[in-house]
Amino acid sequence: MGFRRFFLSFLLSAYFLFDVSTSSSSSLACNSNDLKALTGLSNCLGSLIAGWNSVASPDCCNWTGVTCDSSIVSGRRVVGLELGSRKLKGKICESLADLDQGIPKDLANCTSLHHLSFHGNYLSGSLPDGVFQLQNLRELHIQDNRFSGPLKNGIANLSNLVKLDISSNLFSVILPDAFGSLTRLEQFSASSNLFIGRLPRSVVNSPSLQMLVLKNNSLSGLINLSCSAMNLSQSWF
Ligand SMILES: *[C@@H]1O[C@H](CO)[C@@H](O)[C@H](O)[C@H]1NC(C)=O
Ligand SMILES: *[C@@H]1O[C@H](CO)[C@@H](O)[C@H](O)[C@H]1NC(C)=O
Ligand SMILES: *[C@@H]1O[C@H](CO)[C@@H](O)[C@H](O)[C@H]1NC(C)=O
Ligand SMILES: *[C@@H]1O[C@H](CO)[C@@H](O)[C@H](O)[C@H]1NC(C)=O
Ligand SMILES: *[C@@H]1O[C@H](CO)[C@@H](O)[C@H](O)[C@H]1NC(C)=O
Ligand SMILES: *[C@@H]1O[C@H](CO)[C@@H](O)[C@H](O)[C@H]1NC(C)=O
């Protein structure tokens, strides 16, 4: 009788131990789609990201610069990526959009991401389309890199953006007239790029914009802008 009771309680505690350990690993670790996305991102960058190692730490929430929320439903979601000044080189999967078999649209799956920061690296190529699917993004900081090409219309997708800093890159041609849907945008810095032509109407007419920094481009018509007409509190044209 004593043995039976012992055996039963042994079974029960083994069950609970197993249950707790499996549920904690699935609930406390990062969401598996986010893990795959970050692994893909680090694989396609030309340089290793220090502090990102899926073998040493399979929980991407533990990786340097990664912030996760505390949801426990299907793993913790990655909500912030802070990879500023990390000497990263190469392209953020420039050709992701074309290569949709093999390499996935890594970043696009981090749907909970609201803060993305890659400033102060040596990243080049165009901004990958995956970024334009991060519809919860509130802050995008990619200043001080070597991104080039146009800023694409896809920026219109980021309707929750509050801060956008693309300054000190090699972005060129005209700024897209795609800011009308960015109804929360308060700060936009695009200084020291190669932008030409007129500032788009949708920037001029933005009711939410409070800070606009455009100096050191080849934009025209800026002389007619006025802070009070645009409701800006800070500007550098
Ligand atoms: C992205 O999400 C889709 C749908 O949930 C999934 O099929 C795909 O494998 C995910 N990709 C990555 C890299 O996690
Ligand atoms: C993640 O970090 C937590 C605490 O910071 C630690 O207890 C846990 O072991 C780490 N997990 C992995 C897989 O490194
Ligand atoms: C905008 O977001 C939608 C929904 O995620 C997506 O289907 C579309 O491709 C995005 N547009 C661009 C230009 O990325
Ligand atoms: C102006 O921008 C170019 C890149 O477009 C940069 O090389 C240069 O240093 C910038 N000049 C100033 C004064 O910021
Ligand atoms: C101007 O900006 C302030 C916040 O800085 C806002 O409360 C106000 O509604 C704006 N005015 C217009 C006309 O958009
Ligand atoms: C800009 O201002 C100048 C001088 O005040 C004026 O002649 C010109 O018509 C204005 N241009 C536009 C597009 O408003």
pLDDT tens across 8-54, in order?
343 333 333 333 333 344 457 888 888 888 888 888 776 788 899 88
Q: Nearest ligand to the C-alpha of residue 54? A: 2
Do 143 and 121 form a contact (C-beta atoms < 8 A)? no
The residue assigned the tokens 């972005």 is 171
pLDDT at residue 106, rounded to an integer: 64
pLDDT at residue 189, rounded to an integer: 97
From the CA atom positions of the chain, what is the Rg in Å?
23
Q: Tell me the per-residue pLDDT of 77-112, one tens digit each, with 9 for 90 and over.
A: 899 999 999 888 877 764 333 333 273 456 777 888
* 173 secondary structure, DSSP code: E
Q: Is 76 exposed, middle or buried (0-12, 13-18, 19+ CB in 10 A)?
A: buried
Do 105 and 118 form a contact (C-beta atoms < 8 A)? no
- Dist. CA 203 → ligand 4 center (Å): 22
Q: Nearest ligand to the C-alpha of residue 199? A: 6
Q: What number does the ligand 2 atom closest to the CA of 58 have? A: 13
Q: What is the rounded distance in angstroms from the CA atom of residue 181 to the CA atom of residue 221?
A: 23
Assigned CATH for 28-149: 3.80.10.10
pTM, two decimals, is 0.79
Residue 157 Cβ < 6 Å to ligand 3: yes
- Which residue's alpha carbon is at the smallest distance from atom 5 of ligand 6? 224
Give the pLDDT band of residue 67 (cuts 50, 70, 90). Answer: very high
* Amino acid letter, residue 60: C
- Bridge partners of residue 235, in order along the sequence: 212
pLDDT at residue 163, rounded to an integer: 98
Q: What is the rounded distance in angstroms from the CA atom of residue 214 to the CA atom of residue 194?
A: 11
Average model confidence (pLDDT) across the chain: 81
